[in-house]
Amino acid sequence: MNTPNATSEPVITSYAQAPTRTITAGGISYAYRELGPKGGIPVVFFVHLAATLDNWDPRIVDAIAKNHHVVTFDNQGVGASTGQVPGSIEEMADDAYTFIQALGFGKIDIFSFSLGGMIGQALVLKHPDLVRKLVLTGTGPRGGKNMDKVVGTTYYDIIRAALTRSDPKEFLFFNRDAVGKRAGKDFVARLEERTANRDAPMKIKGFQTQLKAIRNWGRGTPADLSKITQPTLIANGDNDRMVPSVLSEDLHRRIKGSELIIYPGSGHGGVFQFHDTFAPAAVEFLDR
């Protein structure tokens, strides 16, 4: 894809309009999108289990991209990126580092959700000088209690969704009350706003590898999170069935000076259900 030089390139602030690009590093072709004004610290988005570039809520991406350089990407073996999904969270963090270095970024902010938050933690612990600020949503620490149950929960909700011909995210991310059901349908509809040049779907084998990596992360030896000194914003719903909400409180206790937002009456996708209040809070945190 030919890219016009930076001086003539219009600033895109709508995720639905952001072109998909590729960059090759370490023998892997990484698919990514970038939007927002260049300059300043880029905000790199780390996506969730089984997700591709098309799984980011545009209400959150667009709000941050209004005044920040935003980069979303498919890690190795995900979506349109080549290669195979590695078997551990730490290896996924190594791949993310390879991608970030290929783009020439010496300092980034991380915005992460779920699996992406685990990768983000591993990355910041290994390369602390790379990260300025950290946003961890719907995620938990290595060795987090009951995180290894995510495999069973995921398969159970995929079956429930199939029986009702729904998107599994409606079950996995949102409560099954009237408010949660509406929020789930609204979220899935927002993900469909991009109609052209959509990403390649997640492969089943890669999805299964990611699930095993999360289970092993949940059963792993807890990391020393006191080493994370970056300003950190943690957010979740109060009823997260995938990555239990208590793990957000655990992260908050263990990362000194971190901030915690828990949204009432919401699940794993609480930040998406409450995007109208969370997006401004995330922007304020990044701008501070």
The share of the chain scoring above pLDDT 70, in percent, equals 97
pLDDT higher at 5 or 70: 70
Is pTM, for the whole model, over 0.85?
Answer: yes
pLDDT higher at 7 or 180: 180
User: Per-residue pLDDT for 234 more than 50?
Assistant: yes
Strands 232-237 and 131-137, by their bridges, are parallel
User: What's residue 10's pLDDT?
Assistant: 86
The whole-number average pLDDT for the span 207-211 is 97
Render pLDDT for 9-31 as a digit per residue (tens, 0 to 9). Answer: 789 999 999 999 999 999 999 99
The whole-number average pLDDT for the span 59-85 is 98
Q: What is the mean pLDDT of the chain?
A: 96
Render pLDDT for 118-155 as a digit per residue (tens, 0 to 9). Answer: 999 999 999 999 999 999 999 999 999 998 888 899 99
Render pLDDT for 244-284 as a digit per residue (tens, 0 to 9). Answer: 999 999 999 999 999 999 999 999 999 999 999 999 999 99
Render pLDDT for 169-189 as a digit per residue (tens, 0 to 9). Answer: 999 999 999 999 999 999 999
Strands 20-25 and 28-35, by their bridges, are antiparallel
The whole-number average pLDDT for the span 160-171 is 94
User: Per-residue pLDDT for 51 more than 60?
Assistant: yes
User: What's residue 151's pLDDT?
Assistant: 87
How far is it, in rounded angstroms, from Cα 189 to Cα 256? 37
Q: How confident is the model at residue 8 (pLDDT cuts 50, 70, 90)?
A: low
User: What's residue 83's pLDDT?
Assistant: 98
Nearest 10 degrees: Cα torsion 281, 283, 285, 286: 160
The whole-number average pLDDT for the span 226-232 is 98
How deeply is 125 buried, as exposed, middle or buried, from its count of CB atoms within 10 A (0-12, 13-18, 19+)?
Answer: middle
Yes or no: say if 43 and 63 are a contact pair by the CB < 8 Å rule.
no
User: What's residue 108's pLDDT?
Assistant: 98
How far is it, in rounded angstroms, from Cα 138 to Cα 235? 6
Find the helix or strand (DSSP H, E) in which 179 lies.
helix 178-191
User: Per-residue pLDDT for 2 more than 60?
Assistant: no
Q: Which fold has domain 16-287?
A: Rossmann fold (3.40.50)
How deeply is 141 buried, as exposed, middle or buried, from its count of CB atoms within 10 A (0-12, 13-18, 19+)?
Answer: buried
The whole-number average pLDDT for the span 159-163 is 94
